[in-house]
Amino acid sequence: MKVKFLGTGTSQGIPVIGCKCDICLSKHIKDKRLRSSVYIEKDNYNFIIDTGPDLRQQVLKNNINKLDFVLYTHAHRDHVSGIDELRSFNFIQKKAISAFGNYQLVNQLKKDYSYIFSGLKYPGLPNINLKVIKNQFEFNGIKINPIEVYHHKLKILGYRIDDFTYITDAKTIKKNELKKIDNTKILVINCLQIDEHISHLNLEEALKLIKNLSVEKVYLTHISHNLGKHNNISELLPKNVNLAFDNLSFSL
């Protein structure tokens, strides 16, 4: 299984438009962050988690020419608003693309993108087969285990696929859901900034959560310019914890 970070930034990305802070002005490539998403290749299938507003350039930059399905975490714009770009894959693959999320996500997408899901099919529309998932399921032989986490009061999903777990936009995770993460080799989890935030883990909270889990390696993602420069923050982290950066990839 191969994993690549297509983006590791929070909703505004880095640099933030008009911001003159040190991080936004940094020339370092690791301080440039598109909106959060990962691309995964497994058993000849390609899929992504979330379709944010930067999807088009992420797909072009990484030469992704085939996409079999999408896993959605939640319906906030920084995670879904690239949804129209999926039609390019419809044109190439000549079939609908499957997408999965919880009830809240499916409901919200059907409202917000009613032209896609109204049932009226006219040429040029994305063709997406959107399904609600609750428990572990198998698609194309790939076992996918959704993990329910709280984004303030909103129930959203993280995903575990084999020994890889991806969680973004979490603030709290209940004990029984945390168990699903145990013994994962690689955990990706969100870490917004230094200061506390109502709906996202900050650095202190993310590190506290990680400490109580048995995982080999952790990557922090969904990063704001308020966290700090990549290299400065990296120095402060425990050995098995790393800041993710755009285009970082690994196999497991």
Both structure tokens of 212: 């109580």
- Please pick, from the candidates 169, 177, 205, 246, the single residue that binds Zn ion as defined by CB under 5 A: 169
Between 145 and 224, CB nearer to Zn ion: 224
50 binds Zn ion (CB under 5 A): no
- Please pick, from the candidates 24, 213, 233, 248, the single residue that binds Zn ion as defined by CB under 5 A: 24
We find the least distance from the C-beta atom of residue 146 to Zn ion, in angstroms, to be 16
171 binds Zn ion (CB under 5 A): no
Considering only residues 179 to 238 of the shown chain, the ones binding Zn ion according to CB under 5 A are 225
Whose tokens are 């995903």? That residue is 159
Q: Does residue 53 come out as left (phi exceeding 0), alpha (psi in the -120 to 50 range) or beta? A: alpha
Between 21 and 236, CB nearer to Zn ion: 21
Angle at 90 between CA 88 and CA 96, to 5 degrees: 150
- Please pick, from the candidates 30, 76, 160, 230, the single residue that binds Zn ion as defined by CB under 5 A: 76
- Please pick, from the candidates 78, 85, 177, 205, the single residue that binds Zn ion as defined by CB under 5 A: 78
154 binds Zn ion (CB under 5 A): no
Point out which residues bind Zn ion (CB under 5 A).
16, 19, 21, 24, 76, 78, 169, 225
